[in-house]
A and B are shown apart, each in its own frame.
Chain A
Amino acid sequence: MKQAILNALSALNISDYSMTEQQRSSAELFFIKKRLDMRRVKDTHEYSVTVYNVFEEDGKKFRGSSTVILFPGTEAAEITHQLEDAYNAAGYVKNPYYDLYEGHKEAVKEVPSTLSAHTLSQNAELMAAALFAADTRDDAWLNSAEIFACRDHISIFASTGTDVSYVKYSCKGEFVAQAKEPQDVEQYFSFTYNDLDTDALTDKARHALDAVCDRAHATDCPEAGTYDVVLSDRHMATLMELYVTRSRAAMIYPHYSDWEIGTAAQGEITTGEALNITLMPHVPYSPEGIPMRERTLLKDGTVQCIHGTTRFCRYLGIEPTGDYFNTKLDNGTVSFDELKKGCLYPVSFSDFQMDPMDGHFGGEIRLAYLYTESGVKLLTGGSINGSMFDKQGMLTFSRERYTDADYSGPFAVRIKGVNVSGK
């Protein structure tokens, strides 16, 4: 198939192109309560081909591009037709000219993972066993679960010399924990591991069952007002999307973000900690074949790196880095026990969101702990709604840390003066 695509590109005299070959395999298990509802196996193959068309109009030079997706079994004539259509479409895409990324040939990289020692079926079954190992309580249980053991083999090949590939294993999924007394409630949890992290999954499931028991006892809605709010674990990762997104070249070039190297991203830091964020690679190579490595994003709250695809980085006159999504934070000065004193601590939302365009974060509370001098109160309902642009100078982080597939850093953050809707 790859040769058929290369033959068509050659026959069409398309000199600038890049191609990503994706071979994805998975073994999947779907459970309802303690019954296996469905077994699935996937073995798919596809090619994403981007063709570039350089042209001039009114003295201006443009580089247009267009991408087509091709599949095994596609006839040679259809491959040619699709690539020709894409090349013609690229001729109407009037994006300013830029130089393509020039890579080179490298040996296949296998992302180190303990998952690679087993078959996908074994990985799925081992993770399923780890998940259900926690399901031993009478007052809470796993309502349903889905487990996906995956192997991705990605190859990136470009006319400018890039010829790289990698193999990555992962195990991801989701589960719902349920408790019936005194109220019938549930909570949703997801997970992604790049290793055979069976202990971590068992721990996660145990904590989930603890949390859903607490939710079953939560009946009161918070009083509407302003609270110091603590957010933790997955919600920390979501908050950091603000900084990862605002530092993207694709956001800066069209002036959606005015950040540049040296920008004080947190504004005035008043009562809080300055952020130290490192961008972490999620794959060995970006979709353009750019090697991904750790990069300092914020040092003491100041922007150190703008990241993005070749087109937007070239427009900004900076080195193409690829787009990053994962973060590591060095912060954390206060123990979690100290951090949460006097705070509202929502641990579960219907859907916690961070909008990097306007800086607002919020969500409906499924379970929160209100820490007061007289004790801890379980709450449910209401919502939080705040702006990171208003609050980011007043962030305090826990010393305790949390690690997930896309985040490593303080377990929790305290945010001062957040609006809470309630009764």
Chain B
Amino acid sequence: MKVSASAFLQGKKPALKELLNKLLSEYEYASILGQDSVAKNYTVSAGGTNASQDNVLTKRGFIVRVMDKNGYGEYSFSDIDESAIDSICISIRAGIDQLNSLPNGVSFMEKGIPADEAATLAAASEYELHPSKLGDKEIISRLTALREKGVATDERMVDFYVAFSYQEIHKLFLSANRDLMQDLLWSSGALMGMARKGEEIKTSYRGCSMQGGAELIYKLDADIENVAKTTLELLDSEPIAPGEYECICDPDVTGMIVHEAFGHGVEMDMFVKDRALAQSYVGKQVASELVTMHDGACASDQTGSYFFDDEGTLAHDTIIIDHGILKTGISDIRSAEALSTPPTGNGRRESFERKAYTRMTNTFFEGGKDKVEDMIASIKYGFLLEEPTSGMEDPKNWGIQCMVSIAREIMDGKLTGKIFSPIVLTGYVPDLLKSITMMSGDVKLAGGGFCGKGYKEWVKVSDGGPYIKAKIRLG
């Protein structure tokens, strides 16, 4: 089934068009993005049950972008009707005009008007079972049963946290030549086992996600035993001896490397700021010939999928690395203008209340031809890395900081059963990517979490790839 359109946005569209026409008579460029999003989180844990809308992701409102003599200005507001159009125009004019006093030595950015090629679109994503159809009672009941099953796996389990969330997103984009509407449904689920080791609570986590609905809940059960087993294994984990090791990264860790270590570095607003080393490597080898990397809202059906971005650019599937050669970055409209490149549909906002930046969508390595068992067998001494917990980009210097929960020891081509935790991955991104010598065939993407620009501007993304074998510095 397709996600239904937003009655709220459809009802506001005539007033928005009237507002746009007034703005176009006054400004060189004007566009409006309307958002109507509902997100609901369900969690069950020892702390209790929660079934509430998410106050960060549930948003309804509008943002106007205009260009005046001093460049771009934006105004975010909550409501509009025909009687408010003139007062909104006054607020836009007054608000943006008041921000024209510059510090000493600072000037306005050069102007560049978006191409704004004609496009009309009304598109919706598919789902099998809408969460509202399954209903709160059934969702809570299923999550409660999953938690009870997780807790019952072992008496050492302090808790077993289970979560399901969905986000139904409706967006409308209007400009002089564009009239776009989209309706999306993304879902994600999570399991987290918790066990005590002295004062420490050891946790193991599995997430899953999709562009779709409550059908995802039925996939959570398969991972309960694995999460519980790994949680208990962590009780016997030790800190690792720092050093460089041959490693196998599972698809989740591959995804973190793809996203944090490389993806952020090809966000082309960083090129404009002279903040990305990747800019000087376009056309050059940055990874093993085995590596082909994609980013695109239409490259996969995941939590970074959409039909147009928050600046009205249609979705792309961008090949960033082609057999080890860096081909291009990804861009929003402003960075594409500044760099004289075509926009790639990566202009995204946390919500209508926030600025648009170049952001990733679904980012992943293509699969290879190796089997995971052959990859493990090829290692004399090293580690299988699992469960990424966090990562931070360093586009300027291509430094890596990624943290994972689990390093499973491999000796003479076999897993020994010994686990080290927690692990910090560091090093130089091209060194790591060029050291990739094996890649498995299957590609898996996951989008359970959020991506920030630095420490803010959270948006849903997915990332992943195959198992990869590489040399990595662990600490």
A and B found bound together: yes
Query: A residues near B, CB below 8 A?
Result: 24, 27-46, 48, 50, 64-69, 71-74, 78, 85-86, 88-90, 92-96, 119, 121, 124-125, 128-129, 131-133, 135, 143-144, 174, 176, 178, 184-186, 188, 190, 224, 250, 253-256, 258, 267, 311-312, 349-351, 353, 355, 357-360, 362-364, 366, 381-383, 385, 387, 389, 419-422
Chain B residues 439 to 475 lying within 8 A of chain A, measured CB to CB, are 454-456, 473-475
Instruction: Compute how far the CA of A76 lies from the CA of B475 in the bound complex, rounded to whole angstroms.
Output: 57
CB-CB < 8 A to A28: which residues of B?
Answer: 355
**Bound form: Cα–Cα A71–B77 in Å:** 11
CB contacts (< 8 Å) of B107 on chain A: these are 34-36
Set of chain A residues within 8 Å of B46, measured between Cβ atoms: 253-256
Which of chain B's residues have a CB closer than 8 A to the CB of A39? 70-74, 96, 99-100
Q: Are A256 and B273 within 8 A (Cβ)?
A: no
In the assembled complex, B82 has its CB within 8 A of some CB on chain A: no
Q: Which residues of B contact A254 (CB under 8 A)?
A: 45-47, 158-159
**Contact sample, A vs B, 29 pairs, CB 8 Å cutoff:** A28-B355, A36-B109, A38-B355, A39-B71, A40-B76, A40-B355, A41-B96, A43-B75, A44-B61, A48-B55, A66-B51, A66-B136, A67-B52, A73-B8, A73-B60, A73-B79, A73-B81, A125-B101, A128-B102, A135-B105, A144-B275, A178-B396, A224-B242, A256-B201, A357-B200, A362-B422, A362-B475, A364-B401, A419-B242
Q: How many residues of B contact A (CB 8 A)?
A: 88
Residues of B at the A interface (CB closer than 8 Å) are: 8, 12, 45-53, 55, 58-61, 70-81, 91-92, 95-96, 98-110, 136-137, 140-141, 158-159, 194, 198-203, 239, 242-243, 272-275, 334, 353, 355, 390-394, 396-397, 399-401, 403, 422, 424, 426, 454-456, 473-475
CB <8 Å contact, A385 and B424: yes
Taking a contact as CB atoms under 8 Å apart, the answer to whether A46 and B47 are in contact is no
Given A27-B99, A186-B396, A256 and B194 contact (CB-CB distance below 8 Å): yes
Out of B72, B242, B400, name the residue touching A38 (CB < 8 Å): B72
Minimum distance in angstroms from A201 CB to a CB of chain B: 12
State in angstroms the CA–CA spacing of A78 and B397 once bound together: 51
Task: Given contacts A41-B99, A43-B75, A69-B58, list 13 more A-B pairs with CB under 8 A.
Answer: A34-B106, A36-B71, A37-B109, A40-B74, A69-B59, A74-B60, A131-B103, A178-B275, A185-B396, A350-B394, A355-B422, A385-B422, A419-B242
Complex interface: chain B residues within 8 A of A364 (CB): 392, 399-401, 424, 426
Output the nearest chain B residue to A96 by Cβ-Cβ distance: B48
* Residues from chain A with Cβ under 8 Å of B12 in the complex: 73
Say yes or no: B403 contacts A353, CB within 8 Å: yes
Chain B, residue nearest A364 (CB): B401
A73 touches B80 (CB 8 A): yes
Residues of B within 8 A of A358 (CB): 200-203, 422
Interface centre among A64, A72, A250, A421 (most CB of B within 10 A): A421
A387–B198 alpha-carbon span in the complex (Å): 12
In contact, B275 and A44 (Cβ under 8 angstroms): no
The answer to whether A94 and B203 touch (CB under 8 A), given A34-B106, A132-B105, A419-B239, is no
Considering only CB atoms, which chain B residue lies closest to A174 in the complex? B454
| From B75, B334, B426, contact of A41 by CB (8 A) | B75
Within the complex, the shortest CB–CB distance from B281 to chain A, in Å, comes to: 13
Closest CB-CB distance, A97 to chain B, in whole Å? 12
CA distance A96 to B47 in the complex (A): 10
Contact partner, A363, options B61, B95, B401, Cβ 8 Å: B401
Q: Determine which residue in A40, A250, A389 has the highest number of CB atoms from chain B within 10 A of its CB, and name it.
A: A40
> Are A41's CB and B74's CB within 8 A?
yes
Whether B47 pairs with A312 at a CB distance below 8 angstroms is yes
Given contacts A38-B72, A39-B74, A90-B51, contact A71 B104 (CB under 8 A): no
Check if B355 sits within 8 Å of A68, measured CB to CB: no
Give the docked Cα–Cα distance between A379 and B272 (Å): 29
How far does the alpha carbon of A89 sit from the alpha carbon of B53 in the complex, in Å? 11
A363 touches B424 (CB 8 A): yes
Taking the closest CB of chain A, its distance from the CB of B264, in whole angstroms, is 11
User: Looking across the interface, which residue of chain B has its beta carbon closest to that of A311?
Assistant: B48
Given known A-B contacts A36-B71, A383-B401, A178 and B79 have beta carbons under 8 A apart: no
A37 and B201 alpha carbons, distance in the complex (Å): 46
Cα–Cα, bound, A419→B474 (Å): 12
Q: Are A420 and B242 in contact (CB under 8 A)?
A: yes
Chain A residue at minimum C-beta to C-beta distance from B56: A69
